Amino acid sequence: MPDQNARSAYPHPGDFAVMRPEYHQQDDGFWQATINVSPFRVKGESASKPGARRAALYEAEKTYRNYHPSHSVNNPFPEEFTDGEGMEWKRTSPQRRGELGDYIFEDAYGEEDYVDIETMLLWDVRPAAAAEVASDEADTEEPESEPKEAEPEEPEEKTPEATSLEEETA
C-alpha cells in the first residue's frame, strides 16, 4: 500500500524551510515573511525577520497537518528554557493546553501567565542560546565602509652606493 504522505499535493514542511522568504515590514513595525512553494504560500509575522521566518515555517507545519492528520507538528521551542531577557518558560501539561495555553511564564508583575506558541513566535521569544547566536550574527555583519585613502609611500632610504650613483649620472 502506498504511503499516505506520498499522495499529497501539499509540499512537506521541509520544502518551505529551504526556500528564501520574502519580507515585508508592516506599519505596526512587525515583519511578515512569505514563503512560496508553488502553488502554496505560508505567511508568518513576528517582531523580527528571523522570527517571521520561524512563524511561517510553523504555519507550514500546521497546514501540512490539515492534509495529513497523522503528522505531528514540530514544536519550535524546548519544553523548558530561559529566553535572552532571563524569563523562564515551561510547557504546560497536555491536559491544560486547551484552556491555558502552550507555555507558562512569570510576567513583569510576578504573576504566572500563559501564552500559545503563535503568540510566542509573534513576540520573537527565543531560548537564550539561540538569542545569543542571533545577536552574534548581527554583530559580525560588516558595516559598509568608505573606501580607504591610499597611504602615502614613505621614501626609500638611500644607500651610500645609490647616492654616489645618482651623483655620477647628474
Q: Specify the CATH number for the domain of residue 63.
A: 3.30.160.20
In a domain, 3, yes or no: no
User: What confidence score (pLDDT) does residue 134 get?
Assistant: 52
At 1, the pLDDT band (50, 70, 90 cuts) reads: very low
Domain of 42, in residue numbers = 11-70
In a domain, 23, yes or no: yes
In a domain, 83, yes or no: yes
Residues in the chain: 170
In a domain, 60, yes or no: yes
User: What confidence score (pLDDT) does residue 102 get?
Assistant: 95
At 9, the pLDDT band (50, 70, 90 cuts) reads: confident
User: What confidence score (pLDDT) does residue 129 get?
Assistant: 77
Identify the three-state secondary structure at position 93: coil
Are 19 and 34 part of one and the same domain?
Answer: yes
Are 82 and 116 part of one and the same domain?
Answer: yes
Q: Is 46 exposed, middle or buried (0-12, 13-18, 19+ CB in 10 A)?
A: buried
User: What confidence score (pLDDT) does residue 92 get?
Assistant: 95
Which residues lie below 8 Å from residue 27, measured CB to CB, with a gap of 6+?
none
Are 17 and 66 part of one and the same domain?
Answer: yes
Pairwise pLDDT comparison (74 vs 149), residue with the higher score: 74
Are 15 and 65 part of one and the same domain?
Answer: yes
Question: pLDDT tens digit string along 59-78?
Answer: 999 999 988 999 999 999 99
* Lowest mean pLDDT across 6-20, 100-114, 139-153: 139-153
Question: pLDDT tens digit string along 69-106?
Answer: 999 999 999 999 999 888 999 999 999 998 999 999 98
In a domain, 168, yes or no: no
Pairwise pLDDT comparison (151 vs 90), residue with the higher score: 90
At 144, the pLDDT band (50, 70, 90 cuts) reads: very low
Pull the grid cell for residue 148: 580607504
* Count of domains forming the chain: 2
Last residue of a domain, one of 24, 51, 70: 70
Q: Is residue 41's pLDDT more than 70?
A: yes
Last residue of a domain, one of 70, 97, 118: 70
Instruction: Summarize the confidence of residues 31-53 as an average pLDDT.
Output: 95
